[in-house]
């Protein structure tokens, strides 16, 4: 297995990684922050690892003997999730020495320029293997795991429930943006849904704050992304808690004529904290709060405000906001009853992948 972290994106190693995985038929899972370094259309792409429960991709790691870790840092997620029994052989490739713990204690560390090192490994393996392939059971797993993720997304896409299912919101964001456009997914339950399900086709096209997981990065992050990539569509996707932490920066975007677009998932709660309390304690407390009228709030800054009132309104509203000039805020009610349903579903997952 290859574990691809944020370093692959930072060093522009996506092409070298994708070619390496394709030639030697090695499945690749990315971290949340590495999301997009291998296209979800690539035959070896497995999706994202790092969710708080045993997700589909974990079953592939369970079967791996060797993990080639490329551009991964320990702070991206706890390696106990992919090496719980400490029995994997780990090869670490990054531009700096690994931080180690009991579950991430590499047998080999390659400290190098990542694309150059991958090309070197590619050539050496090519010479060693000749025409042989490394095809085995795990190749079939990649297709199966991708199928499970696709099914989850498609089931949500068809749901007309209101408040909207998170899967429906993810599917509509995907439909509103092009392959090279940029979505910034803030920290919260929202990040779990976006990281797991949002299909990504190019590096840094779904930017996630993980590791320290600072809430509210997406709104100023989207202002920065506009300055760096003025020709792309850019969407900040945030929970209502995160939005209210620094939505005053809407004023900056209005004043500087930056066409900031923000989609707020409204659940009147710190959804991720509620979710974690429900998992750990079976109950939650003191995580709910009230919200302003988001339309009037946006308008008070001189921005455009929208409130989604049915499932079918979301996609046209997103398209409208992304095509108009100026700053736009869309408030969309979401139904996080899906959170615990997902945990229950993953808990029951015993399929032999």
Ligand X SMILES: Cc1ncc(C[n+]2csc(CCOP(=O)(O)OP(=O)(O)O)c2C)c(N)n1
What are the residues facing 199 on neighbouring strands?
A: none
Distance of CA 135 to the CA centre of its chain: 28
CB of 187 to ligand X, least distance (A): 5
The Cα 256–Cα 258 span in angstroms is 6
Comparison of 159 and 291: residue with beta carbon closer to ligand X: 291
* Closest CB to ligand X among residues 273, 343: 273
To ligand X, the closest distance from the beta carbon of 190 in angstroms equals: 4
Q: How far is the CB of 212 from ligand X (least distance, A)?
A: 8
DSSP 278-297: HHHHS---S-B-----HHHH
Q: What is the DSSP pairing of strand 304-307 with strand 261-266?
A: unpaired
Site stretch for ligand X (CB under 6 A), options 9-17, 246-254, 265-273, 319-327: 265-273
Subset of 211-250 contacting ligand X (CB under 6 A): 213-215, 239-242
Nearest distance from C-beta of residue 336 to ligand X, angstroms: 7
At which residue do the structure tokens 């108009």 appear?
Answer: 324
| Binding track over 178-217 against ligand X, x by CB under 6 A | ---------xxxx----------------------xxx--
Contact string 268-307 vs ligand X (x = CB under 6 A): -xxxxx----------------------------------
Backbone phi, psi, residue 229, to 5°:
-130, 70
338 binds ligand X (CB under 6 A): no
| 353 scored as a contact of ligand X (CB under 6 A) | no
Question: Which window, 12-20, 66-74, 119-127, 263-271, contacts ligand X (CB under 6 A)?
Answer: 263-271
In whole angstroms, the minimum distance from the beta carbon of 208 to ligand X comes to 12
Which is closer to ligand X, CB of 245 or CB of 346?
245
- With respect to ligand X, which residue has the nearer C-beta, 71 or 166? 166
Which backbone phi and psi does 222 adopt, to 5 degrees?
-70, -35
The number of residues that bind ligand X (CB under 6 A) is: 18
Pick one of 44, 73, 152, 267: the residue that binds ligand X (CB under 6 A): 267
22 touches ligand X by CB under 6 A: no
Q: Which residue is nearest to ligand X (CB)?
A: 239
Asked, as a colleague might, if the bond just before 163 is cis with ω within 30 of 0, I would say: yes
For the bound state, the minimum distance from the C-beta of residue 214 to ligand X, rounded and expressed in Å, comes to 5
DSSP notation for 158-185: T---SSBPHHHHHHHHHHHS-TT-EEEE
41 by Cβ neighbours in 10 Å (0-12 / 13-18 / 19+) ranks as exposed
Structure tokens at 230: 């003025």
What is the DSSP code (8-state) at residue 215?
T
Give the neighbor-by-neighbor strand order of the sheet with 328-333. Answer: 206-208, 182-185, 234-239, 261-266, 328-333, 304-307
Q: Which is nearer to ligand X, 2 or 250 (CB)?
A: 250
Give CA torsion, residues 99, 104, 108, 114, to 10 deg.
Answer: -60
Q: How far is CA 119 from CA 21, 133, 340, in A?
A: 11, 18, 43
Interacting residues toward ligand X by CB under 6 A: 187-190, 213-215, 239-242, 265, 267, 269-273
């Amino acid at each position: 297995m290859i574990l691809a972290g944020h370093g692959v994106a930072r060093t522009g190693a996506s092409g070298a990684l994708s070619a390496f995985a394709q030639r030697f038929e090695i499945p690749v899972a990315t971290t949340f922050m590495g999301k997009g370094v291998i296209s979800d259309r690539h035959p070896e792409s497995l999706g994202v690892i790092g969710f708080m429960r045993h997700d589909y991709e974990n079953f592939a790691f369970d079967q791996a003997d060797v993990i080639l870790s490329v551009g991964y840092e320990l702070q991206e997620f706890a390696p106990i999730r992919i090496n719980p029994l400490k029995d994997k052989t780990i090869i670490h490739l990054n531009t700096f020495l690994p931080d180690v713990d009991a579950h991430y204690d590499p047998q080999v560390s390659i400290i190098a320029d990542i694309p150059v090192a991958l090309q070197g490994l590619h050539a050496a393996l090519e010479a060693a293997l000749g025409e042989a392939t490394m095809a085995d059971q795990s190749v079939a797993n990649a297709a199966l795991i991708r199928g499970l993720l696709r099914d989850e997304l498609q089931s949500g896409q068809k749901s007309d429930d209101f408040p909207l299912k998170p899967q429906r919101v993810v599917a509509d964001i995907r439909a509103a943006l092009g392959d090279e456009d940029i979505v910034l997914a803030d920290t919260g339950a929202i990040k779990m849904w976006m990281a797991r399900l949002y299909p990504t086709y190019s590096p840094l096209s779904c930017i996630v704050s993980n590791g320290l997981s600072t809430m509210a990065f997406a709104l100023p992050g989207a202002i920065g992304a506009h300055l760096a990539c003025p020709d792309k569509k850019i969407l900040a996707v945030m929970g209502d808690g995160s939005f209210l932490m620094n939505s005053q920066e809407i004023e900056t975007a209005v004043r500087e004529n930056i066409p900031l677009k923000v989609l707020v998932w409204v659940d009147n709660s710190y959804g991720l904290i509620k979710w974690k309390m429900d998992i750990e304690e079976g109950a939650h407390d003191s995580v709910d709060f009230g919200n302003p009228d988001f339309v009037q709030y946006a308008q008070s800054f001189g921005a455009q405000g929208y409130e989604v009132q049915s499932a079918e309104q979301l996609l046209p509203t997103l398209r409208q906001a992304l095509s108009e000039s100026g700053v736009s805020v869309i408030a969309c009610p979401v139904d996080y009853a899906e959170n615990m349903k997902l945990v229950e579903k993953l808990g029951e997952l015993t399929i032999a992948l």
